Amino acid sequence: MEFKLPHLINVGIKGERGLAFQEAYLFRPDKLSVETILGLEKEFVPLKPGEETEVLVPLSDLPVNADVKKISATLQVAEDTSPVRPEQTTVGVKKDEGQKETYRLEVDMPTRPRNVSLRLDQGEVFWTFAGGLVNDQYTLPDFAKQVNAYLDKIQPENGQVILRFLIKSDTRGKVKIDIDKAGLDYSLLQTQTWKNPLDDTIRFDRNLPLSYGMSEKILLDPISDPMGRKIRKIEMDIGGEFGPERLLGNVENHDGKEFATISGDYSLAQRFMLETPIQGVGVTGLFQMNAEAELYVAIQNDTNGFPSSEAPLAKSKQTLAPTGKNGSPEWIFTGFEAPVDLKAQTPYWIVIKGIQGKVRLALQTQTEGYLQQILVNRGGRLWKSLRGLSDPTCTAWLRLVYLPGIDNQTAAIEIGIEGTQRWQWIDSKPGAQTISFDVEDYNLQQVGLRVKSHARGTLSLANVIQEYHR
């Protein structure tokens, strides 16, 4: 088994605790192996003066994939009354011109810690105390940050987490550490990985090729031991490269029910009117093909409510290959031979004619504001309404593609969580962008991540982390 990192957007692995109980967990760098120690008693540990002494605290209630929000503890202090040889010092005293007298002094060793520092193994010191610990108990500050760093490094055995504290004192004494389990607050992390069936590798990123109008659903793996936990937050790193042109309008999911046939016998015209002027560069549509076909696509002026018979404002020819994925429709982009400036509040028509073969263009009830009436033409005869004048709401599954200017810039990607109102717009930026979605108000047991594309290019998702309630 091999592992591949999210190299395309130049980010490292995050949420390493979220890899717990997965194959990828063994790939974590700088892991600290902690042996399972059974039967640890809450006894005082004698300190070695001037050295760091290890104090082990088992915490079986804390999963290794926890993200600790709050943790508190107390340091219990006791005297070390074990017998030790006292320090001996010789002192000479001379009175005036008399003979020097020598005295031997014995200094009893301190029995309580003094000048103390405390840290977790491979971590920074998070508590110090200058002077002697004269009290029997000291409240330690919240050290959630240090615990999370520690959990990123350990690999517990048999599911048991042991906090390895290192305490240093100038003098001897005895200590033990008690964790306030009632005040322990944490969430559980789940880091998403994907398995590539082609080469049997596990990846921490996923790369999506983008096309105009693409709508991709990505199901994230639920936590291995849900126990009714709800998802609190989803976080991820996003990067990629997007072309300058943008799809105009909404990206939606077709219901798969209605299509219009376009061939040498049947042509289709879609009327539209813009709210703001744009520079059109092409048209994209949701097509279904069983065999190769060729289409003619043009932008025509309006003449008395019908496509003009004059020369087109823009045109293009497009060859379409058979659709894959069991014949499901695909978004196909047709670029114009030259860009066209389209005015606001002016009616235009997108005209599609068959040159060779036959295709099916998706239809649906009107959902896009600038698309209006749809007409069909059989054998070059008069244009007629597809459903009749009584139902003008039917539109073709078409969208204009334009080159944004200063006044009509739009983002490349719309990304969100299905079943929620949590959506964000993403555009090109140097390096990776970290985004998050707060879904605490939704009762989600599994996350469906939806990506909608208004551009062409490549999108990279990495370090996708789900945070669950405790």
pLDDT digits (tens, 9 = 90+) for 262-276: 999 999 999 999 999
Boundaries of domain holding 361 = 246-402
| 7 assigned to some structural domain | no
Identify whether 456 is part of a domain. Answer: yes
Q: Is 140 found in the same domain as 41?
A: yes
The total domain count for the chain is: 3
27 and 137 in a single domain? The answer is: yes
pLDDT on residue 86? 64
**228 Cβ contact list (under 8 Å, min separation 6):** none
**Is the residue at 407 inside a domain?**
no
pLDDT band at 39 (very low <50, low <70, confident <90, very high): very low
pLDDT at residue 174 is higher than 70? yes
Q: What is the pLDDT of residue 446?
A: 86
Question: Average pLDDT of 349-364?
Answer: 93
In a shared domain, residues 326 and 419 = no
Say how far apart CA 241 and CA 237 lie, in whole Å. Answer: 14
Q: Are residues 225 and 298 in the same domain?
A: no
Q: How many Cα neighbours within 13 Å face the side chain of 215? A: 13
pLDDT tier at 389, thresholds 50, 70, 90: very low
Residues 269 and 172 grouped into a single domain: no
Q: In the structure, what pLDDT confidence band is assigned to residue 369 with cuts at 50, 70 and 90? A: confident
Residue 146's φ and ψ, nearest 5 degrees, are -70, -35
For 157-193, b/e burial (b = at least 16 CB within 10 A) is eeebbbbbbbbbbebbbbbbbebeeeebebbbbbbbb
**First-residue to last-residue Cα distance in the chain:** 32
What's residue 36's pLDDT?
A: 43
Q: Assign residue 448 the CATH number of its domain.
A: 2.60.120.430
- Residue 38 pLDDT class (50, 70, 90 cuts): very low
From CA 5, how far away is CA 12, in angstroms rounded?
A: 7
What pLDDT is stored for residue 365 in this prediction?
Answer: 77
104/59 Cα distance (integer angstroms): 50
- Residue 433 and residue 302 in contact, taking contact as beta carbons nearer than 8 Å: no
Residues 28 and 150 occupy one common structural domain = yes
170 and 251 in a single domain? The answer is no
Do 316 and 452 lie in a common domain? no
What confidence tens digit (pLDDT) does each residue in 320-353 have?
A: 888 766 668 889 999 999 999 999 999 999 999 9
Whether residue 236 sits in one domain with residue 166: no
Residue 100: inside a domain: no
The answer to whether residue 228 scores a pLDDT higher than 80 is no
Q: For the chain, give the percent of residues with pLDDT over 90.
A: 57
pLDDT for 155: 72
Q: Report yes or no on 93 lying in a domain.
A: no
The whole-number pLDDT of residue 199 equals: 80
Is the domain of 181 the same as that of 41?
yes
Q: Please compute Rg for the chain using Cα positions.
A: 35
| Highest mean pLDDT pick, 8-12, 279-283, 287-291 | 279-283
Q: Does a structural domain hold residue 10? A: no
Assign 23 a pLDDT band (cuts: 50, 70, 90). low
Q: Check whether residue 345 and residue 390 sit in a common domain.
A: yes
Position 25 scores a pLDDT of 61
| Least confident piece of the model among 52-66, 129-143, 236-250 | 52-66
Q: Which of 322, 335, 209, 345 is nearest to 274 (CA)?
A: 345
Give the percent of the chain with pLDDT over 70.
83
* For the chain, counts of helices (H) and of strands (E): 1, 39
Band (469; pLDDT cuts 50, 70, 90): confident
Tell me whether residue 17 is in a domain.
Answer: no
Residues 114, 132 contacting (CB under 8 angstroms)? yes
pLDDT band per the 50, 70, 90 thresholds, residue 280: very high
Q: Is residue 18 part of a domain?
A: no
Mean of the per-residue pLDDT values for the chain?
A: 86
Q: What is the CATH number of the domain that holds 382?
A: 2.60.120
Helices (H), 103-191: 144-151
Distance CA 86, CA 108 (A): 5
- In terms of domains, do 180 and 291 share one? no
- Distance between CA atoms of residues 286 and 48, nearest Å: 75
Tokens of 190: 């789940």
Q: Which of 351, 374, 402 is the last residue of a domain?
A: 402
Among the candidates 345, 380, 402, a domain finishes at 402
Range from 98-107, 111-120, 212-221, 343-352 carrying the lowest mean pLDDT: 98-107
Contacts of 177 (CB under 8 A, 6+ apart): 55, 57, 73, 74, 75, 76, 140, 163, 165
41 is written with which tokens? 């008693």
pLDDT surpassing 80 at residue 190: yes
Domain boundary among the residues 356, 371, 402 is at: 402
Residue 362 · residue 245 · CB < 8 Å: no
